[in-house]
């Protein structure tokens, strides 16, 4: 029994340096005595360093202007990112063809989300072109700091 608890504590301690978030599954993460002197702050700093390193790796084909804007604002705004005809076709698909759209409102920002799997993209040629665009995909992976395809 003691050996089992020892192993659990080793795992819980190792999870400090991972993406683990559950206070219930890991009592060390939610420990007030450890968080008061800065455990949570340490985890945030480590996460920020890891994210920065990932972005550095993914930045080789991102323009310096885009990298600078993202560093300064934590978002990218790209005007006229799509050719007008593709943008119009994408709007038409969005209004008439897309599957269920979920809408989230935070303050004065509205975010609309839809799930576009391979089956849905077969029916949406403009959306498929956008998803397959290497320049858009490169920007998405850079901002998300992961090379996993959205």
Give the predicted TM-score (pTM) of the model. 0.69
Question: Average pLDDT of the chain?
Answer: 86
Give backbone dihedrals phi and psi of 114, rounded to 5 degrees, phi first: -135, 150
What average pLDDT does this structure show over 27-41?
Answer: 80
Helices (DSSP H) in 59-133: which residue ranges? 64-73, 84-96, 118-122, 125-132
Domain parsing of the chain, residue ranges: 38-144
- Residue 126: in which H helix or E strand, if any? helix 125-132
Strand partners for 106: 109
> Given a cut of 90, is residue 64 above it in pLDDT?
yes
High-pLDDT (> 90) share of the chain, %: 26
Residue 28: which of 12, 42, 41 has the closest Cα? 12
Give the pLDDT band of residue 88 (cuts 50, 70, 90).
very high
What average pLDDT does this structure show over 123-144?
Answer: 89
Is the distance from CB of 81 to CB of 90 less than 8 angstroms?
Answer: no
pLDDT of residue 150: 62
Give the pLDDT band of residue 139 (cuts 50, 70, 90).
very high
């Amino acid at each position: 029994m003691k050996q089992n608890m020892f192993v659990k504590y080793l795992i819980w301690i190792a999870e400090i340096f991972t993406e683990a978030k559950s206070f219930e599954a890991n009592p060390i993460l939610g420990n007030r005595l450890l968080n008061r002197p800065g455990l949570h702050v340490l985890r945030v700093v480590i996460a920020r360093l890891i994210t920065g390193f990932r972005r550095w790796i993914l930045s080789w084909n991102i323009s310096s202007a885009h990298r600078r804007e993202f560093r300064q604002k934590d978002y990218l705004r790209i005007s006229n990112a799509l050719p007008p005809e593709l943008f119009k076709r994408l709007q038409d698909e969005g209004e008439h063809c897309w599957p269920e759209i979920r809408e989230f409102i935070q303050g004065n920002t509205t975010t609309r989300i839809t799930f576009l799997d391979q089956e849905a993209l077969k029916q949406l040629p403009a959306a498929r072109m956008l998803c397959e665009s290497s320049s858009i995909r490169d920007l998405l992976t850079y901002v998300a700091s992961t090379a996993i395809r959205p």
